[in-house]
Structure 1
Amino acid sequence: SGRRLNEPPSAMYVARVSGIPTMAKLPFQETADGLDAAFVGVPIDTGTSNRPGAFGPRQIRVESALLRAYNSGTGAAPFESLMVADIGDVNVNLYDLKDTCRRITEAYRKILATGCIPLTMGDHTIAYPILKAVAEHGPVGLIHVDAHADTTDVALGEKISHATPFRRCVDEGILDCKRVVQIGLRGSGYSADPYEWNRAQQGFRVVPVEECWFKSLAPLMAEVRSQMGSGAVYLSFDIDALDPGFAPGTGTPEIAGLTPIQGVEIIRGCRGLNLVGCDLVEVSPPYDTTNTALTGANLLFEMLCVLPKMKYL
């Protein structure tokens, strides 16, 4: 088109079914050099405890062919604001989760060193090694949207799984615990108060799903923005935060969850924050081949639209 920045091709001129399915049909490049933001896949499911979904990043990319250049709801113009591309997948070790975490951290050090903000797809195990790279210059705030707290200490004798990432982050001083909020937590637990460690011992703000029912979450996000301040913030969004009626294709579904509207409100409520990375995790295509991945693709687009330096038309 002659534009300086990358942009999704218009379906008026390029058929959506054509070409290699990169995220939003953006150009692929092998590194993050020269990019302001990049979509990244981490195709593992070896940290999951229920349903597998290693092909989540691939299916999200397929469904993202419906994405267009502008956010008509907010006026965000991401492809007039940032240089964005799909940089493919981290080369994971399918047989060794610890080695995969090492590979992820190394890959993200390289991405972050270029000044690029990563938007990642995978399972929730990946948040820990990504945040290890993100926090190398100091602890970061966290907005965690999920049905589960993911602060288990040990699962089946192992310290690393999709149930443990934020416990490991606390152990290693990666998180600024006064700037951590967890939204949408719910489900049966192994104790009467499964979030006591988070609240009482670490100082996290925990927003159980019951506090979200039947209301807009815009007022909550105003409070969250105040809590996060001007420091670095990472946004981690597990698709199972949404009710499985909307997003059944996930590993550990819990009833009575958030609506997609509330999910969008949370992400749009991050506008103005110093976001240094985002993820959308736990999409499991075998349990829903299209709708969940489509929702994930749109939530990733919403994340792109609230990154720093965004123009609003």
Structure 2
Amino acid sequence: MAEQYNQPLGGNEMPRFGGPGTMMRLPAASSAKGLDACFVGIPLDIGTSNRSGTRYGPRQIRQESVMIRPYNMATRAAPFDSLQFADLGDVPINTFNLPENVGIIRGAIAGILAEDCIPLTLGGDHTISYPILQAMAERHGPVALIHIDAHADINDTMFGEKIAHGTPFRRAYEDGCLKPDLVFQIGLRGTGYTAEDFDWSRARGFTVVPAEECWHKSLAPLIAGIRERIGGHKTYLSFDIDSLDPAYAPGTGTPEIGGLTSMQAIELIRGCRGLDIVGADLVEVSPPFDTTGTTAITAANLLFEMACVLPGVAYR
């Protein structure tokens, strides 16, 4: 008997405004056992330095995912026809203790990876990428990283704290979680305190692609070159929604003008097809500043695009 894969609840079976509150109205699961990939939320915002609200990100992204259908008309990807997916709900973080959350999140992601399941994580602020990368390195060794963001997030400290949403990739580098020559930071821009804000990354071997180098052009050639350089290495994708211009994603904590377009974001994610992606996250959606739902709608669709480029996805 052919294996039966979980499918999102269709709009002709249940109105879009009804049904379960899971990502794309997929079945919920209490563990990753038997799954190939999963959506999991981390409702954290105590690592933010400006506007808060990302603790509500996972819930709102799920809410705005109800319109997404299971087949990608552009790429012909049908992820739910070949991978067993479910929504694992949210990691039960400690609302008041950010350092403790590093251990909580690392343990939760490690449990998912132990079942050979690929996590697609709904943030939450960008602090979450640090413990996720710790778990990735424990499972796979140092990974290649495609980091799409307005900010490099390589601060040493913020207000004297080592753990915050502006420090995850410095901590991940220090812990040996990354292959420095295979780290790509795309869309960085805005003002800074010193040139070190971006040059620290360059000095460690990271490839930095400022937003100005992305203006007025397709990013398909850029990601094709990155894909060729990464080759068969295990790869993690971290997408901060503030990489997009505020015209496309106003609902975030640290918006910067002159950002990527939603079309360029889709190009970058679709260009990851063929990479050995072991996990991904989408972070920094802040619903209180997303009055029309535009940011969460964009985030939900980008997470679906991530699902479409996972290893083993069928194309129809």
* TM-score interval for Structure 1 and Structure 2 normalised by the shorter chain: over 0.9
Aligned to 1:210: 212
Aligned to 1:154: 157
Separation of aligned partners in 1, 2:104 and 2:149: 25
Is contact 2:154–2:197 with CA below 8 Å preserved after alignment? no
Matched to 1:250, the amino acid is T
Matched to 1:285, the amino acid is P
Are 1:145 and 2:114 matched, yes or no? no
- Counterparts in 2 of 1:300 and 1:6: CA distance versus 1, 3 Å: same
Tell me how far 1:192 sits from its aligned partner. 3.5
Superposed CA offset, 1:197-251 (max 9, x none) = 111x210000000000000000001110012110100000000000001100001
TM-score (norm 2): 0.97
Q: Which runs of 5+ in 2 are unaligned?
A: none
Tell me how far 1:196 sits from its aligned partner. 1.0
Tell me how far 1:193 sits from its aligned partner. 5.1
Separation of aligned partners in 1, 2:70 and 2:142: 34
Specify which of 244, 257, 260 is matched with residue 258 of structure 1.
Answer: 260
Aligned to 1:113: 114
**Secondary structure at 1:38 match in 2:** strand
Aligned to 2:37: 37
Tell me how far 1:13 sits from its aligned partner. 2.0
Tell me how far 1:20 sits from its aligned partner. 2.5
Q: CA RMSD in A?
A: 1.0
Aligned to 2:7: 7
Superposed CA offset, 1:9-43 (max 9, x none) = 22122111112310000000111111111000000
Is contact 2:42–2:91 with CA below 8 Å preserved after alignment? yes
Specify which of 259, 275, 280 is matched with residue 277 of structure 2.
Answer: 275
Are 1:164 and 2:175 matched, yes or no? no
Tell me how far 1:8 sits from its aligned partner. 1.1
Tell me how far 1:168 sits from its aligned partner. 0.1
Tell me how far 1:3 sits from its aligned partner. 7.5
Separation of aligned partners in 1, 2:155 and 2:195: 15
Aligned to 1:125: 127
Separation of aligned partners in 2, 1:244 and 1:193: 25
Separation of aligned partners in 2, 1:108 and 1:8: 23
Q: Which runs of 5+ in 1 are unaligned?
A: none
Separation of aligned partners in 1, 2:82 and 2:193: 46
Matched to 1:29, the amino acid is A
Q: Runs of 4+ in structure 1 displaced over 4 angstroms?
A: none
Are 1:303 and 2:314 matched, yes or no? no
Separation of aligned partners in 2, 1:172 and 1:192: 24
Matched to 1:26, the amino acid is L
Separation of aligned partners in 2, 1:79 and 1:106: 27
Matched to 2:48, the amino acid is T
* Number of corresponding residues: 311
